[in-house]
Amino acid sequence: MRQTRALMIFAAGFGTRMGALTATQPKPMVAVAGRPLIDHALDQAEAAGADPIVVNLHYLGDQLAAYLADRPVLLSWEREKILETGGGLRKALPLLGHGPVATLNSDAAWTGENAITQLEAAWDETAMDALLLVAPPERTVGHNAPPAFSMDDHGRLSRHSITGGAGYVYTGAQIIKTDMLAGLSDEVFSMWRLWEPMIAARRMYGLIHNGGWCDVGQPESIALAEQLLLEKGHV
- Tally the C-alpha atoms within 13 A of residue 173's C-alpha that lie toward its C-beta: 30
The rounded distance, in Å, linking the Cα atoms of 105 and 127 is 24
The rounded distance, in Å, linking the Cα atoms of 225 and 15 is 17
Q: What is the pLDDT of residues 170-210, one digit of tens each?
A: 999 999 999 999 999 999 999 999 999 999 999 999 999 99
Q: What is the pLDDT of residues 19-51, one digit of tens each?
A: 999 999 999 999 999 999 999 999 999 999 999
Q: What is the pLDDT of residues 156-173, one digit of tens each?
A: 999 997 556 689 999 999
Average pLDDT score over the chain: 95
Mean predicted confidence (pLDDT) in 145-155: 94
Do residues 79 and 88 touch, judged by C-beta distance below 8 A?
no
- In order of their start, the domains of the chain are 7-231 (3.90.550.10)
* HEC secondary structure over the chain: CCCCCCEEEECCCCCHHHHHHHCCCCHHHCEECCEEHHHHHHHHHHHCCCCCEEEEECCCHHHHHHHCCCCCCEEEECCCCCCHHHHHHHHHHHHHCCCCEEEEECCEEECCCCHHHHHHHHCCCCCCCEEEEEECHHHEECCCCCCCEEECCCCEEEECCCCCCCCEEEEEEEEECCHHHHHCCCCCCCCHHHHHHHHHCCCEEEEECCCCEEECCCCHHHHHHHHHHHHCCCC
Closest CA to 141 of 174, 103, 109, 104: 109
Reply yes or no on whether the pLDDT at 2 is more than 60. no
Q: What is the pLDDT of residues 85-140, one digit of tens each?
A: 999 999 999 999 988 999 999 999 999 999 999 999 999 999 999 999 999 999 99
pLDDT of residue 162: 58
pLDDT of residue 1: 41
